[in-house]
Structure 1
Amino acid sequence: MMTAAPIHVGIVYLETDYLETDSGWGSDEIPDRFIMSFTGGAAGTQMTEFRISTDKDKDGLSIGDLIFDTATGGRGKAGWHPFLVTKIDAVSGDRVNVTADVTDGTTELVIRLTNFNAGDLLEFSIDMDEVLRMHSDLDRFNAALDVIASGQEMEDAIFTASFTAPHYEATTSESLFRNDFGNPAAQFGLRLPPDEGPTVDSRPSRSAAAIGTVNQTPKPISIGGTVWVDNDLNLRRDPGEATLPGVTVALFRKNNITGQFVDTGHRQVTSSSGTYLFGTTLGLMPGEYQVVQTQPDGFFSVGAVAGSIGGNSVGRAASSDILTGINIPLGDLHAVDYDFAEARPAQVGGFVYRDNNDNGRRDAGEAGIGGVTMRLVPRNTIVPFSPIETQTLADGSYRFQNLPPGLYDIIEVTQPPGLDDGRDSAGTVDGRVVGIADEPGDVIRNVQLNSASIGNEYNFGELPRGIITGGVYLAPPGEDCGGRDDARSTPLAGVSIELVGPGGVTIARTTTGPDGQYRFEDVPKGTYSIIEITPKGLIDGKAHVGRISGIQVGAAVGGGLIRDIALPAGATGTRYDFCEAAPAQISGYVYHDRDNDGLRESGEEAIPGTTVELVSASGQVVATTQTDAQGLYRFTGLLPGNYSIRQVQPTGFLDGRDTAGTIDSVAVGAAINPGDLITSVAIRQGQSGINYNFGELRSATLSGRVHVDTDGDCLYDPGEMLLAGVTIRLINASGAEVASTQTNAQGIYTFTDIPPGTYTVIQEQPAGYFSGTARPGSAGGVKETDDRIGSITLGSGEVAVDYDFCEKPPAE
């Protein structure tokens, strides 16, 4: 429960004669002042009204009482002042409305407020005179009044404040004014001046204050709900579901000290409409509650449903008969729809029978099987329930009765001798198919039984067993695994064979006999895989799918697995064979072919770390490797077949000449140049292919200079002018321009990343100069014209320099 903080309320009275002028002192020149504020309380607490009564003994006007002098005439002396609001400070920002009710010459002031919240401040003024003598004559009465009402004279005046707050009863504080009132701000957090202090509002002899404290009482709460028959067990009250009258419900409240729920002693019995209510007339206070239902006879509890408070879901079901954690933090809140669902008992049954035609239906003439143990396993029932067993009768029937509604599995525990699990079938509940049968599995799952449900024909069919046979052999030398040739193939004895059932579970193991044959008997109907463990030293060749009733059944995966063998009940599968092969291998080198002749020669360095792929005849990459420090790559353990070898171009190299190798000293395959590919490598079992090599090249560079040759020797001398911006073109052996560049500020031009080959460099004559001559550089070549050098042969990685062009200056 959320406990509201105490309300502290206070009002300070100030006699203001000390503010009057010398000439006006004692004339009520300035009205008396009041300062009022409050703190604490529940959220939303507001002061609605306060009263100041100066009838101190509550005996009517008498000596020592004070009167409010608010108008001319009547009771009062000297000046008069009406009620006047001088300051409102609303910390909440709300607009505060203030009205006053006071009659001139009386002892009571009533002030009514709206939107006045904790922390707000109200100041007002009004004139007060003290009664010193009682006279029936008005003039004599007024003459005896004291216009200066000090703090001591305000002592024992009565201050009454009224408050309201959501979820709480209205409350009132009553306190008396005291001349010595200390420091309300320090003691209670009130926005009021102290009795003694440095400010103008602190005048010990001229002030008094009333300080009150009051606690708020929450309004009562209520809790209610319904008990009903939940036919579909969905914990919702659906149309047409009956309610249950006469069910006893008890109410408990949590002890906040012990943390335990304590019986409140309150009981309710559901009405003819199944409802119960712990109403507000019981005076229930906010807190945490628990509702406990007494289980009605002849029913099973479905569950308890937590309801809501103010539209918010609150609480939980501690059990099917207990709703707990109903936390009602504030008064005037009402917990609704705290409901309890009940259900009637259910039953289910069926048959175990011989399903001769394997159609999963109990047909006429298919005999029942007696003496089979059946088990009913609760998976999620509305009350705790242990598995129960029964046995089929002579006609194969069984039945489970008086069951709590919920979700069940039905299990055929004992398999009838000589038969295997057939097709099981879910029956009907109230005329509708409910549940699913494991195939295979002897289990019918997810049988949902609702209130008063009857389940029928939950049946289990049984089947005869079958056989699967086959062989393992080595293909004839130099031949592929095209199929078993009993005359030429070599039987392999002692090979491990596994029969794998549904879910990847190995259900049988055997080994081949001296004739290479294997056999699995007593195989239940189902879909199987056969796994052959490849003999040491051999590789998978090819698996061959056999036949059942003359029809090929199954699928071969690689050389060691035949899967999807759907074996009917009592059938025989034959020639599920496995062919083995001796492994083959292919190797070669990746190297820098400096002379680009396609031959790996002494001094031509290896290229390590190059990726090489082996590609099958169908275009699939079947293996990937990398060259070692010697540039060697090798593919081992290969199946016979027709392969291609593909090299991934190494970084920093250009494609050179590739060379097909040999198998058993016979050249096999064809290199695709250029292309980094060797194709048509046809290899058989046990063979080795070698020297399937990939030659690579480095790119070359060619550079030179263009300068003004003043002495006619075409050699650059210091002081001779270097020509920038001269265009130089590079022409390949086919006469095609492959690159173009211009000389830089030093007259130098450079061509990079040039594939090895024969080239020509041509200078475009620079404007303003006469053609001089040209000079071949470090890689040789022929000066063809003054602006052209040809027959430049660049080798792999060659750096050719000094291919210079010399120009003549114009005549002066």
Structure 2
Amino acid sequence: MDSFFSDNLSASSTIPFLNVETPLDSIREGRQNPAPVTVASGQNLNGINFGNTQFGSISGIKFNDLNQDSLLTAGEPSLAGWTIFIDTNNNGTLEATEPTTVTNATGAYAFTNLAPASYTVREVQQAGWVQTTANPGPVNVTGGVDITGINFGNSQSGTITGIKFNDNNGNALFDAGETPLQGWTIFADGNNNGVLDTGEGSLVTGADGRYTFANVPPGNYTLREVQQPGWTQTTPNPGPIGVSGGTNAIINFGNRQFGSISGVKFNDLNSNATLDTGEPSLAGWTIFIDANNNGTLEATEPTTVTNATGAYAFTNLEPASYTVREVQQAGWVQTTPNPGAVNVTGGTDITGINFGNNQFGTITGLKFSDTNTNALFDAGETPLQGWTIFIDANGNGTLEATEASAVTGADGRYTFASVPPGNYTLLEVQQPGWTQTTPNPGSVGISGGTNAIVNFGNRQFGSISGIKFNDTNANSLFDAGETPLQGWTIYIDSNVNGVLDPTEPTTVTGTDGSYVFTNVPPGNYVLREVQQAGWTQTVPPVQA
């Protein structure tokens, strides 16, 4: 064979040297090398052709797309150590048999010696990052062409985390001592409608009140909480939350639970300061929170009005201490003491802050001249003006400077108005020459708007007087020089029998012979004397 090639081939021949003793697979690439050729003596073989092509390459840069615009812009850092692969089966996953390369310190990668063909190039994702560039379409490599600029941009994902807490003081800050709230739903409001919709990301706060959205792709997000009954959000809804390049956003949500104060306004008929069975409710009364504790309703203080059942309520009250008062109405007196400070804590409903009132009453009556002394104001009897009637508060029977009093008018009437419920003793101030004919009234009870009528009757007394004398001339007249007689008994002969009876009034003449019967009620009386032995009466007895 050596003789064949040296005899028949010139030095300028372009036919490559083939060492047939060399195994075939070691002298050809793939299937392009021809099979062994046998040349017979004098034979000319044609068509033993050799075709060649140039290989191409695909290259690009892996970079941190800080502004997420999918473009490699000045200042954006390269990313080393990322795996780029040719996805031969186009399933998006790196298989063991697929070609790979790793980006270098400058973020560059390259696939070289690529035969002309169409290639799909992909990257292997890394945790905490999101691809910002679209996956490149098929890359068509032709002979000798180097395809560049097949870049992959990524941005680091971030986290959004925070605490859900009970904002007791309502200052929108998570302060020391405030309690984390478990079981609240925080969500990314993708359509910004304030409602958790299907498909929107959400988390539930844990025992420590914390929620965390991890691996959040760069972007702007709106976070909201799902409200729960009885709570009010104290922190403002956050604006758009920007996440980029591994940033961690902290967004806390504060809420606080409000409380209430309620009670009943009632007519305390028995004035015992307790709402008893059967006592009616009072509608239309104003109850207020006395913010400055001065006992007066100010324009800025919260108010409510009792309803048809007497009930009132202040709702949505922040945790605090409150003073509750009522606006008084004319003709009524409060029977329940003003409640002390009412301490409202989050979520508590304070009940039973009741207000009892009883209606004022009046005590009125007439002062009259009881001429017939029957203790009744009869037709024809005269009202008495200018008499003082008083409430004997200490029960000593005497008008004191601090005791309420009224003076009868021209019609004999007196009136104590707006008298609080209670029991009262009424008396009159006596006047000389008069005697009370009506008994002193007992305790006068006032409750629930009652009006008591208490009359006082008096009558004016007279007197009967005269002289007992020695009628020496028997002319029935007390003449000058005639002597008064002392020690004679004069009596009122009530039964007109001419005899002094044990029950009949008597008096004895004095040294001047005079006698007198005082405090004699109006009426007709027969006077007599008790005869003494040796004397004869010269003045006939007369009816007084």
Higher strand share: 1
TM tier relative to shorter chain: 0.3 to 0.5
Larger CA Rg, structure 1 vs 2: 2
TM-score (norm 2): 0.43
TM-score (norm 1): 0.30
Structure number with higher relative contact order (C-alpha < 8 Å, ≥ 6 residues apart)? 2
